[in-house]
Structure 1
Amino acid sequence: MTVKLKEDTSSDEEDAPLSAAFQRNKRKIEDSDEENGSSKIKDEDIESADSDAALSKVANSRKTVKKAKKTMQKSDGGSSSVKAKKPRAKKATPPAKTTKSPKKIPKREHSVEQQNADPEDSIKETSESADEFKWWEKENDDETVKWTTLKHNGVIFPPTYEPLPSHVRLYYAGKPVDLPPQAEEVVGFFAALLESDHAKNPVFQKNFFEDFLEVLKESGGTRNGVEIKEFELCDFSKIFDYYQLQKEQKKQLSSQEKKKLKEEKEELEEPYKYCFLDERKEQVGNFRIEPPGLFRGRGAHPKTGKLKRRVYPEDVVLNLDKDAEIPKAPEGHNWGEIRHDNTVQWLAMWRENISNSFKYVRFAANSSLKGMSDFKKFEKARQLKDYIEAVRRDYTKNLKSKVMLERQIAVACYFIDVFALRAGGEKADDEADTVGCCSLRYEHVTLKPPTTVIFDFLGKDSIRFYQEVEVEKQVFKNLTLFKKPPKKPGHDLFDRLDPSLLNKHLQNYMPGLTAKVFRTYNASKTMQDQLDLIPNEGTVAEKLLKYNAANRTVAILCNHQRTVTKGHAASVEKATARIEEMEWQKVRLKKSIMQLDKSEVKKNPKYFAEVNDLVKEQEAAIHKRVIEKEREKFVKKFARDNEKRKFDNEEPLPESQLQEWMQKVDETEKAYAEELKTGKVQITNSDVEKLKSQVEKLEQRIENYTTQLKDKEDNSQVSLGTSKINYIDPRLSVVFCKKYGVPLEKVFTKSLRDKFKWAVESADENWRF
């Protein structure tokens, strides 16, 4: 019997399926300049052992994937059929299935010919690409059928596990343990995280150890008879040191070697990056099956440390059209099921074992289907403006209703509308204790007469929601009633209400209206109101500062917080030092002007007032810093040039070249010392007007840097990206850029410009939410 699964139609990026680690990191890097172009330093990512193995295997797979690469090569004419050979990358072959895998999804019968068919034979190029298809200009009222034809090349599986060298072992009570590969792999997951906060968490340790013992039992126990019973007697240090050494060796690779590995990796992945949707070539969002590892979770998740089992082809369901050739499964395996369901927007799915939920391979964020989904989400929120007054009028009236359920619905609507709370839902005992409006408990709300309410609970992703707010007098009275004895901590505040009842009530006002629509509406409406307050004046940097302040207002409303990154303080210190150095350069230029033409001082004494602000101690510190940077720059240049020469089989640069560069730095250092002693600058440009122009450019740079630094500080604990991508209608950002003359790339990264192409092309400067 075929299991029919209801598709997850959530359009939030927060709810997107898991991708491979390198894809997540890639997106982070692409979005690192998202907020006003300023760089973000993220917490150190601790890579699992298998990610290193994946990189090392790429080079060996290059020859085997050259055939697969032809799959998506575009024909010159754009209309001819292109046939390619089977993608048979070595790394796509999972190991023999000896460990326990997640529960299988029932198969649908299909022929041997289908199993062994070549998927690329059916993939044809068309003249219309996804970039040319302007779906927002076409009418599409059929929301049931998502596509007519769908062809793709399946998914990439993580590499097989490579056992540790014989001298690297887990030690138990001082004795080396000979583990079977399946158990050794699990131990490696923990060892790789040995110095992280995760590995020091007792819950993480407990869950890991239980799953490790289970895998050890499944694989026949230790090979040398050592019986493992207590976590405390396990010594993972040798394995940790081995992985650290491998990381260091990877870091030592030259830039050319890294570039070559990257190119080979991209060549391997190329056939899986794209699919053909209704004969259009479109990008696939996440084509890699998530590798096994230890689940970390967010916040105090009770399942942190549990083993994420390896996914096999037998666990995977592929979705494509009936006439499409079925991608060949890795050797020795078969797909769990082949479907032809054109009412869903996924290409493949599997069930993961941590929460027993489904993970999906979907279309990329810039695909037409994802764009349609985003467009409909924001248009639905936009429709709410025609109904919001009726909703507010009714919930205000029902605050005094004689029916308790109606009172609870009224207060819940008030919370969702005014404070942007999520609806919330019931959680199982083995899930993190996160709540929303309907699942608030007695202890989450504290009342301070006459009308102050203190919210304190863990919201989505275990992010703490703490706010002290003023509420309507009747709302306060109702909350007092809801908390009346015999209620006590642990009891539900809204004991007669759940999200389904609340959403059913809301849909009486507008089809499709849910609590989630309120968050999108209020976020976009707040952004519109904030943008209306920005005057069309000042520099681009100043306008961006005001835009980010508006975005920050929305992020605070939606409780989009983030912890201050470990590198934030160092980043701020570096930026501050850079501004100080530019101020010093400006003073030097003004001293040069004074030395060339003393009459300039009499003409404009205020212009030169800051020359005496820089004390000698401060100037000496700047000199030292600048000289150190110059020396470091030439050392790196020397090493980089020699790496390139070695890669190109050329003779390396002689040491004398580096000494020549260093000699120039020494001369500069002496010149600065002389300047400090005499107070006179060595003039390199005798044109006063050109010097003034340089001063003006430096002042502009200093202003921009200072603005960005302030923005960086203001945003250190607020996540602007979540609200900008998922809750604020992107057309508002487009309108801001067009109306205020701000380059769109200052607000949207390349990936976001592709994702929101429909907004960029459909909104002019007069569009309003």
Structure 2
Amino acid sequence: MAVAKVRPRKQSSEKKATTKRTRKQSSSSSNNNDDDDEPLNKKLKSNGKNSTNKNDEVKDEDIPLGQLEKTKSKTKVISPKEEDIENDNELTLSQIKSNIDKSIQIEKVSNSSDNKSLTENEEDSSEYKWWEEDLDDGTEKWQTLEHNGVLFPPAYESLPDLVRLIYDNKPVKLPAQAEEVAGFFGAMINTDHAMNPVFQANFFKDFLAVLKEAGGVLEPKNLKITKFDKCNFQPIFDYYEQKKEEKRQLSRTEKKALKEEKELLEESYKFCYLNGRKEQVGNFRVEPPSLFRGRGKHPKTGSLKRRVYPEDIILNLGKNATVPNPPAGHQWGEIRHDNTVQWLAMWKENIFNSFKYVRFAANSSLKGISDYKKFEKARELKNHIEKIRQDYREKLHSKVTFERQIAVATYLIDVFALRAGGEKGEDEADTVGCCSLRYEHITLTPPNNVTFDFLGKDSIRFYQEVVVDKQVFKSLKLFKKAPKKSGDQLFDRLDPSILNKHLQNYMPGLTAKVFRTYNASKTMQDQLDGMEIKLEQPVQEKILLYNAANREVAILCNHQRSVGKNHETSVQKATDKIEQIIWQKIRFKRALLQLNPKLKKTEGKMFEDIEDLTKEKELEIIKRVTERDLEKFKRKFLNDNEKRKEKNEELLPESQLEEWLDKVNKQKDLYIEELENDGKLSDEFMEKVSKEDKLRDKIHKFEQRIINANLQLKDKEDNSQVSLGTSKINYIDPRLSVVFCKRYNVPIEKVFTKTLRDKFKWAIEGVDDNWRF
């Protein structure tokens, strides 16, 4: 693996002699009320003063109602009294927590609610511009809420009687419950997951449990399935492959009918009424049963995700809302009326005993408000970051291990955008963050080089060689001092909750996660400030620069991805496309010379590339172009007849297809004839392009297409191992992307998809090109 050499970003107190942008932003006071810092028409009323203390990993709304803490608090952490760094190892993590808990001072904050009640007559969600109103920072999320519950997956359809699991060379008839689970594995026996011994073991364990619950094998009686190696799932695989092929072979009309049937079934679940306004629901479907796959080397991969029933589901509705009817023969697990949370339904899944939620869609007002507050919270950090950095630099020299660990952890989170991390159970993937780093996860190389190597979120490897502050290096060396060994915690006095409580001394609601959002957005702002873009540049060049800036953020946040299976094919197609455009450009240059041979002397440089393609390469391109066009007309013939069939119109005869294909083959013969005549174009072609200015215009357009295609290919290659979507959607303030588009005349749809334009409508309409993070 290529080693990423990363140096810490210079902190703003050390930047006094750098760029003009930094001089404008450094040391800005908390009282700074410049217009540029007011992103929307209205500021948050409380400016975060009523924020609840939260862990980086846990949100209040993600916890069942009975477990929620009802008190909002501001904390002040009192450090343990000083003692020598070499002799304070007897202070345990639980003692530190106890000391901190005793020192927390709680201030009860009353929550005001100034929002006006919304009635049935108010605007639809597409017209509701919440960002132009005062935002109440209280706990109440809504006044009224109505919805139609959740959509369950279809019931299991048993396999045909002749399709059975083979065990020890004998066909076996299974109860429907066990047959369904066997089908999950059988349908994927050709995948890498099914080859994984851990996946196989977990699947087989759960399959046997379900088989036992269902009463065992039906036929042959008294047969017991005990060994995975004796199971043959091939008949099940073949059956499901056949079903897939049948689905692919459906006519356009049949596919359309199935789609309409599906949409009709889903229609009543897609929307709800929030405070009388129609708003979109996000994931209204209950997850179907399946085998858990997981990322990386997950210990639970292959385990059965069991079917969820209405009895497992808690619905959340307004008190006066009509409770939707559960499926026949069932009843809901519970009905709640909790307007302090933003979920509509929830249930507990069996793999991790965690809760799954049905929430509002990304373009809903509540989700928009949540996103806005998240980025404003990160933006608020710029008023406190200098104080935080000054404090942790001082505490790097502390003689108290606890204080020094907090300082080093804060440094790593701030400078290298590490996640806070948290404790993992034995049945969870071994992923870590800053606070849960172990002895073996860092390698120290004097004078101040540190190599990180661990599995981060989603089992993505974090591997970087970085240069750290000398005092940080010295502290890490102490944290690894004997008797510590492999498997021991590096930060044995810390966990995310302790760190976050400490951070909230500087700013209400500050957590390690806010640093990550702040530094991602700050990095993007710095990238935009350094761009040198001319308005007349092609849009594709501007997008390339935008993606390069986004990539810097993705690298900072370690947003990696494995190269896709189809990446090589995709690159080859793009390369072929460029070759075809070059070939067409050369043909038109030949035509220009054929029209005016004198140009060879007067504009010789223009025609230097005419001999760039060999005859063999041109023949290869002609073959590709011909195959592409033949396939295009075959598809056109099928699609046109599908449309005619829908409208009860007369179908195109086969002779029409033959005519189209014959035309393509005749064109191929003309191309080959050109080659045999040393590039001389046919009289028929020359009649079509008889004017020099038209030929020059065509050549210019081909050159622009070549430039754009090469830019797209470079972008594809550069981004093959970096996930730009995660940083763009979740970490970079969307207003920065909007500023880029407005400042350089880039259509917003080049940066945000339709879904993202709906999600970030508040950002698109709320700022101009002078806004700054």
TM > 0.5 fold call: yes
CA separation in 1, counterparts of 2:292 and 2:61? 17
8 Å CA contact 1:125, 1:281 repeated in 2: no
How far residue 667 of structure 1 moved from its aligned partner, in angstroms, is 1.3
1:531-570 paired onto structure 2 within 5 Å? 531-537=528-534, 538-570=537-569
8 Å CA contact 2:412, 2:434 repeated in 1: yes
8 Å CA contact 1:408, 1:496 repeated in 2: yes
Residue 155 of structure 2 aligns with which residue?
A: 160
Cα deviation 1:458-489 (Å, max 9, x = unaligned): 00000000000011111111111111111000
How far residue 651 of structure 1 moved from its aligned partner, in angstroms, is 4.7
CA separation in 2, counterparts of 1:8 and 1:283? 29
Letter of the aligned partner of 1:367 in structure 2? S
8 Å CA contact 1:11, 1:374 repeated in 2: no
CA separation in 2, counterparts of 1:136 and 1:508? 29
8 Å CA contact 1:482, 1:494 repeated in 2: yes
| 1:761 matched to 2:765 | yes
| 1:572 matched to 2:576 | no
Instruction: Flag the 1:693–1:633 CA change in 2: closer, same or farther, 3 A.
Output: same
Letter of the aligned partner of 2:351 in structure 1? I
Cα deviation 1:677-699 (Å, max 9, x = unaligned): 11201222101111111111111
Instruction: Flag the 1:690–1:9 CA change in 2: closer, same or farther, 3 A.
Output: farther
| 1:361 matched to 2:358 | yes
| 1:681 matched to 2:681 | yes
8 Å CA contact 1:182, 1:219 repeated in 2: yes
CA separation in 2, counterparts of 1:419 and 1:361? 34
| 1:234 matched to 2:231 | yes
Residue 703 of structure 1 aligns with which residue?
A: 707
Residue 398 of structure 2 aligns with which residue?
A: 401
- Secondary structure of the 2:153 match is coil
Letter of the aligned partner of 2:538 in structure 1? T
How far residue 133 of structure 1 moved from its aligned partner, in angstroms, is 1.1
CA separation in 2, counterparts of 1:185 and 1:741? 54
8 Å CA contact 1:13, 1:726 repeated in 2: no
8 Å CA contact 2:541, 2:711 repeated in 1: yes
CA separation in 2, counterparts of 1:719 and 1:634? 36
Residue 322 of structure 2 aligns with which residue?
A: 325
1:412-451 paired onto structure 2 within 5 Å? 412-451=409-448
Residue 169 of structure 1 aligns with which residue?
A: 164
CA separation in 2, counterparts of 1:534 and 1:425? 38
Letter of the aligned partner of 2:321 in structure 1? A
Cα deviation 1:52-84 (Å, max 9, x = unaligned): xxxxxxxxxxxxxxxxxxxxxxxxxxxxxxxxx
- Secondary structure of the 2:424 match is coil
Residue 69 of structure 1 aligns with which residue?
A: none
How far residue 450 of structure 1 moved from its aligned partner, in angstroms, is 1.1
1:508-523 paired onto structure 2 within 5 Å? 508-523=505-520
8 Å CA contact 1:204, 1:303 repeated in 2: yes
Cα deviation 1:682-727 (Å, max 9, x = unaligned): 2221011111111111111111111011000000000000000000
CA separation in 2, counterparts of 1:662 and 1:11? 62
How far residue 392 of structure 1 moved from its aligned partner, in angstroms, is 0.6
- Secondary structure of the 1:505 match is helix
CA separation in 1, counterparts of 2:294 and 2:354? 14
1:220-299 paired onto structure 2 within 5 Å? 220-224=215-219, 225=221, 226-299=223-296
| 1:184 matched to 2:183 | no
8 Å CA contact 2:53, 2:508 repeated in 1: no
How far residue 652 of structure 1 moved from its aligned partner, in angstroms, is 3.8
Instruction: Flag the 1:183–1:124 CA change in 2: closer, same or farther, 3 A.
Output: farther
- How many residues of Structure 1 are paired with residues of Structure 2 in the alignment? 658
CA separation in 1, counterparts of 2:647 and 2:733? 50
Residue 111 of structure 1 aligns with which residue?
A: none
Which of 707, 726, 733 in structure 2 is aligned with 1:729?
A: 733
Residue 299 of structure 2 aligns with which residue?
A: 302
8 Å CA contact 2:146, 2:321 repeated in 1: yes
Instruction: Flag the 1:484–1:8 CA change in 2: closer, same or farther, 3 A.
Output: closer
Letter of the aligned partner of 1:294 in structure 2? L
Letter of the aligned partner of 2:546 in structure 1? Y
CA separation in 2, counterparts of 1:452 and 1:238? 56
How far residue 254 of structure 1 moved from its aligned partner, in angstroms, is 1.9
Letter of the aligned partner of 2:482 in structure 1? P
Letter of the aligned partner of 2:311 in structure 1? E
How far residue 661 of structure 1 moved from its aligned partner, in angstroms, is 1.6
CA separation in 2, counterparts of 1:650 and 1:160? 39
Residue 203 of structure 1 aligns with which residue?
A: 198
Residue 3 of structure 1 aligns with which residue?
A: none
CA separation in 1, counterparts of 2:576 and 2:295? 35
How far residue 599 of structure 1 moved from its aligned partner, in angstroms, is 2.9
Instruction: Flag the 1:344–1:163 CA change in 2: closer, same or farther, 3 A.
Output: same
CA separation in 1, counterparts of 2:338 and 2:466? 48
| 1:214 matched to 2:209 | yes
The farther-off stretch of 626-635 and 483-492 is 626-635
8 Å CA contact 1:438, 1:498 repeated in 2: yes
8 Å CA contact 2:55, 2:511 repeated in 1: no
Identical aligned pairs, as a percentage?
67
- Secondary structure of the 2:278 match is strand
Which segments of 5 or more consecutive residues in structure 1 lack a partner in the other structure?
A: 1-6, 18-122
Letter of the aligned partner of 1:699 in structure 2? E
CA separation in 1, counterparts of 2:384 and 2:257? 57
CA separation in 1, counterparts of 2:136 and 2:265? 39
Instruction: Flag the 1:462–1:358 CA change in 2: closer, same or farther, 3 A.
Output: same
How far residue 635 of structure 1 moved from its aligned partner, in angstroms, is 2.0
Letter of the aligned partner of 1:550 in structure 2? A
| 1:477 matched to 2:474 | yes
Residue 525 of structure 1 aligns with which residue?
A: 522
Which of 325, 333, 339 in structure 1 is aligned with 2:336?
A: 339
How far residue 361 of structure 1 moved from its aligned partner, in angstroms, is 0.3
8 Å CA contact 2:641, 2:652 repeated in 1: yes
8 Å CA contact 1:285, 1:363 repeated in 2: yes
Residue 628 of structure 1 aligns with which residue?
A: 627
Instruction: Flag the 1:361–1:10 CA change in 2: closer, same or farther, 3 A.
Output: farther
CA separation in 1, counterparts of 2:120 and 2:373? 29
How far residue 600 of structure 1 moved from its aligned partner, in angstroms, is 2.9
CA separation in 2, counterparts of 1:234 and 1:220? 19
CA separation in 2, counterparts of 1:630 and 1:196? 34
| 1:693 matched to 2:697 | yes
Residue 145 of structure 2 aligns with which residue?
A: 150
Which of 746, 751, 763 in structure 1 is aligned with 2:750?
A: 746
8 Å CA contact 2:53, 2:504 repeated in 1: no
| 1:638 matched to 2:642 | no
CA separation in 2, counterparts of 1:8 and 1:632? 61
1:71-110 paired onto structure 2 within 5 Å? none
CA separation in 2, counterparts of 1:256 and 1:311? 33
- Secondary structure of the 1:347 match is strand
Letter of the aligned partner of 1:507 in structure 2? Q
- Secondary structure of the 2:171 match is strand
8 Å CA contact 1:735, 1:764 repeated in 2: yes
How far residue 641 of structure 1 moved from its aligned partner, in angstroms, is 2.8
Letter of the aligned partner of 1:188 in structure 2? G
8 Å CA contact 2:297, 2:429 repeated in 1: yes
Q: CA RMSD in A?
A: 2.0
Cα deviation 1:613-669 (Å, max 9, x = unaligned): 222111111111111111122222223333344444555433222221222122111
Instruction: Flag the 1:716–1:8 CA change in 2: closer, same or farther, 3 A.
Output: farther
Which segments of 5 or more consecutive residues in structure 2 lack a partner in the other structure?
A: 1-51, 63-117
Letter of the aligned partner of 2:553 in structure 1? V
How far residue 420 of structure 1 moved from its aligned partner, in angstroms, is 0.3
Residue 503 of structure 1 aligns with which residue?
A: 500
Instruction: Flag the 1:12–1:748 CA change in 2: closer, same or farther, 3 A.
Output: farther
CA separation in 1, counterparts of 2:670 and 2:144? 72
8 Å CA contact 1:435, 1:459 repeated in 2: yes
- Secondary structure of the 1:602 match is helix
CA separation in 2, counterparts of 1:394 and 1:280? 48
The farther-off stretch of 510-519 and 650-659 is 650-659
